[in-house]
Structure 1
Amino acid sequence: MYLRTKITNHYREIINSIGFYPSLLSVAFLIFAVLTMSVEYLAPIEQFKSLISFVLVDSAENARTILSTLAGSIISLTVFSFSMVMVVLNAASASLSPRVVPGLITRKSHQMVLGFYLGSIIYSIIMLININKLDNGNTAIPSLGVLFALIFGLISLGLFVFFIHSISKAIQVDNVLNGLFRQTKQEIQDIINKQGDNPVDNFPEFSNWHSIKSTTEGYYKGVHTNKLCAILAEEKIELFITVKQGYFTVKGYPFLKCNKDICENEELIEKILDCFIFYIEEYISDHYRYGLTQISEIAVKAMSPGINDPGTAVKAIDMLSILLIARLKINAINYAYYQSEEAPLLYFHETSFDELLHDNFTPLRNYAKADAYVMTNVIEAFKNILFIANEDVEARNSVFNYLGAIVDDINQHICNEYDRREIRNMLQAIVRISELQGNQLVARFEQHQPISE
């Protein structure tokens, strides 16, 4: 039991390691090398080799030269490729955001290329050490294995070209943003589809449920839903996770609530807590909020004096607006079923729309509040959100509350009358969507005079 729990806890760390797929491919190539040597000198294989003798080596010296050259050359490609990965990760951390680094490390295509390199090296070395002299004075040459090694070497050259092309694209900010946007939107759509397939209209009163305290500290990143729901179904209990994903918890914090008092059942509590995942990295596959955060941080980084790229910031702002519009379709409480159960057994606390506005636009607003171009586009993004959120009273109020904070910053930091006229025009466009609150916003903009420095 302890060993299984330990493996489960380290599962994500293992599969997201840059060496995971290279290790698997290395083992696969090693097994293939052993299989090649085990059938190399069988009679059917010897007959086949006689048919393709024109592409096989016929001397031990040539075989050693080819294998040594292949092994040395692929080692050089491997070293260069790993160096390129480190350069890309450093550049991404410096110019984009440190939070995008885990996503770049776990790119399967790059790991597969590096794994193919390592496997080819292992295969060539295995073939090299199997060139042996026989008792009759002849030399046993694994000519078929040498042919395979040569093919792997040629494939490695092609993969090297692909790797350089892919790694150069990976660092381009547009490609990074597009990738984050697609992943985040897909995660949001998956939740929308799941809630649409199994809608829940009435939720329990969670305030009356019994609290369960955390026994560990760290960033709560997720839960093994199927495993936990199986336990809940077996025990006939329901659970509500009060902590939002990504938030830090400490020992003793009541981050769970149960519809039954199970405080005395320590074994059951331990089984439940073993289903929760705590670690540092932020992967979009865990929750869409991480994708929003990474896009927001790229926008903030683009506005730094060292980069000074407002165009990227504006593109990130537009993406955030589209994702927040999609988020409006998600219920404030998420849930999970167990197989054929009629009612949910596990409830999640989704990050509210108001919190998403604050978390993703506040750093950008504070950093770009003196940039009229960016602030105008921020207001335009909120105008686009209002087109959809205007019928949702709670979401509309959240948008206008935040627009008030934006207007206050503009009044304090943007003095140029031309810039203020552009911002005024954008606010007038909001009035056409929601007249009452829009006019209040315009009045707020007009009544404050900018402070001259």
Structure 2
Amino acid sequence: MFAPRKIADNYRELINSIGFYPSMLAVVFLLFAVFTMSIEYAEFVKALKKYLSVVLVDSEENARTILSTLAGSIISLTVFSFSMVMIVLNTASASLSPRVIPGLITRKSHQMVLGFYLGSIIYSIIMLINIKKLDDNTVAIPALGVLFSLIFGLISLALFVYFIHSISKAIQVDNVLNDLFKHTKNVIKHIIARQDEHKVDCFPDFNQWYSIESSTEGYFKGVHSDKLCAVLAEHNLQLYIVVNQGFFTVKGYPFLKSSRDLSEEPELVEKLLNCFIFYIEEYISDHYRYGLTQISEIAVKAMSPGINDPGTAVKAIDMLSILLIERLKIADTNYSFKHSDSSPLLYLHETSFDELLHDNFTPIRNYAKSDAYVMTNVLEAFKNILFVANDNEDATCSLFNYLTAIIDDINQQINNEYDRKEVTNMLNAITRISPDQGEQLLARFNAPAK
């Protein structure tokens, strides 16, 4: 029952590991080395060597020296580069957030560089062991292979310079935040585009649907929607995912609902459950919520006493406000189609706007509530969201409910008159957007302490 899901989980773990692309490139270089040796002494290659004689090695000693030097040097570059990767991951975990590590590990450019190093080493060693004496006491020198090894060595030096430049940029907090912001915004826009393409005005009453229990425990991280929609279309079935992505489920938890009773169709239930993904890591490509969480945690980390970087916290807060504004364009119930169908087959429970506010701003509010600079910028972020969401009654209600909690914290923690004046100015700006509710916030802020 669990074999297909186990295979899918192992596949995802494999392709997201730091050694996946390096291993693939090493195999490619190994095959290229075999191919080079298979044509090294062909007649057309011998003719070609006459035109390239100026850059080819004709001495056994020189060939061995060049290949040995290249292999040893690239091994040194590889060791240093892997050490740099470990330092970056350790620094990112300590100063940013452990949740950003999967994104850094799976950065394709770094893996490609490391893979090129490994492949160059393998290629040079294969060429080295093919320098041998023949029966007529002549020495077979793979001159073309040595030339390729030399070219790969020079490329490795250039890639090493690129790697140092790239890895130093990757750990800079501004670059990490910008990457998270762009990636998260792109995922949100993709959902918006899909919903605009297939608009659904009326949703079924999911309370009348039949529950399907989870057969495994773990964090629900996603679904193979194309595969699942194909199964649903085949059996004329609709499915609703009750829980949010990232929700921890246990065996027997009713996390799905189907449009018809499947209690007598265990094989179909098994086929449906095998389309769902459970694992620990958080990748933004699975859901934009993880991007918001990582940005929020970087803001919290920036406010810790050991780092004390309110500027980074403010930048993260501004990014969160822009992403939440984009989130307002997404319906609370998401859906997926099969290309040939005109009605949704799969419905997903989106994380509500209220939940996103709570999950991403509560840690910031708790850690920064005594910092007037950061809290003023939190109020400004809410003002910007209100400006866009003023016509959205549910979002406006959620924003003002949360603003009440923010004002209560500010009243308890910030007593300096200058700081309170700045807060008052920000509340006046909010009042100009929503007069009635803004006045209530001002009254609450200016009320005498109990």
Aligned letter for 2:326?
A: A
- Spell out, residue by residue over 1:207-258, the C-alpha distance to the aligned partner (whole angstroms, 9 max, x if none): 0000000010000000000110111011111000001001111110000000
- Partner of 2:347, secondary structure, is strand
1:4 Cα offset (Å): 4.9
Q: Secondary structure at the match of 2:221?
A: strand
Name 2:290's counterpart in structure 1: 290
2:380 is aligned to: 380
1:146: which partner in 2? 146
CA contact (8 A) 2:4 2:274 kept: no
Instruction: Tell me which amino acid in the other structure corresponds to 2:307.
Output: I
Q: How does 1:252-267 map to 2 (within 5 A)?
A: 252-267=252-267
Paired position in structure 2 for 1:428: 428
Structure 1 residues 2 and 405: alpha-carbon distance in aligned structure 2, compared to 1, 3 A threshold: closer
1:335 aligned partner, one-letter code: Y
Give yes or no for contact 1:214–1:253 (8 Å, CA) kept in 2: yes
Q: How far does residue 5 in structure 1 lie from its aligned partner after superposition?
A: 4.4
State the SS of the aligned residue for 1:255: strand
Alignment pair present for 1:227 and 2:227: yes
Q: Secondary structure at the match of 1:219?
A: strand
Q: 2:188 maps to which residue? A: 188
Structure 1 position 43 matched with structure 2 position 43: yes
Are the aligned partners of 1:303 and 1:368 in contact in 2 as well (CA < 8 Å)?
A: yes
> Is 1:437–2:437 an aligned residue pair?
yes
1:432 is paired with a residue whose SS is helix
Give the alignment's TM-score, normalised by structure 2. Answer: 0.99
Counterparts of residues 66-215 of structure 1 (less than 5 Å): 66-215=66-215
2:56 is aligned to: 56
Paired letter, 2:11 = Y
CA separation in 2, counterparts of 1:8 and 1:108?
21
| Aligned partner letter, 2:196 | G
Matched, 1:332 2:352: no
Q: CA deviation at 1:206?
A: 0.2
Aligned 8 A contact 1:18 1:111 in 2: yes
Alignment TM-score, normalising by the size of structure 1: 0.98
Does 205-214 or 440-449 show the bigger shift? 440-449
Quote the Cα distance in structure 2 between the aligned partners of 1:166 and 1:150. 24
Which amino acid in 2 is paired with 1:270? E
Q: CA deviation at 1:7?
A: 2.5
Amino acid corresponding to residue 447 of structure 2 in structure 1: Q
Q: Is the 8 A contact 2:369 2:413 kept in 1?
A: yes
Q: Which amino acid aligns with 1:171?
A: I
Q: What is the match of residue 408 of structure 2? A: 408
Q: Give secondary structure in 1 for the equivalent of 2:348.
A: strand
Q: Is the 8 A contact 2:296 2:317 kept in 1?
A: yes
In structure 1, the residue matched to 2:240 is 240
1:9 offset after TM fit, Å?
Answer: 2.3
Q: Deviations over 1:162-199 (max 9, x none)?
A: 00000000000000000000000000000000000000
Aligned residue pairs, count: 450
Alignment check: 8 A CA contact 1:212 1:256 kept: yes
Alpha-carbon distance between aligned partners in 1 of 2:387 and 2:246, rounded to the nearest angstrom: 30
The question of whether the paired residues in 2 share the 8 Å contact of 1:411 and 1:448 is answered with no
Q: CA deviation at 1:339?
A: 1.6
Cα contact 1:29–1:123 (8 A) shared by 2 = yes
Contact in 2 for aligned 1:78/1:118 (Cα 8 Å):
yes
Q: Match for 2:9: what amino acid?
A: N
CA RMSD of aligned residues (A): 0.9
Contact 2:9 2:279 in 1 (8 A): no
Map of 1:12 onto structure 2: 12
Aligned to 1:368: 368
- Give distance in 1, aligned partners of 2:5 and 2:318: 43
Q: Is the 8 A contact 1:218 1:278 kept in 2?
A: yes
* Structure 2: gaps of 5 or more residues: none
Extract unaligned runs of 5+ from structure 1.
Answer: none
2:418 match: 418
Q: Is this contact kept in 2: 1:100–1:294, CA < 8 A? A: yes
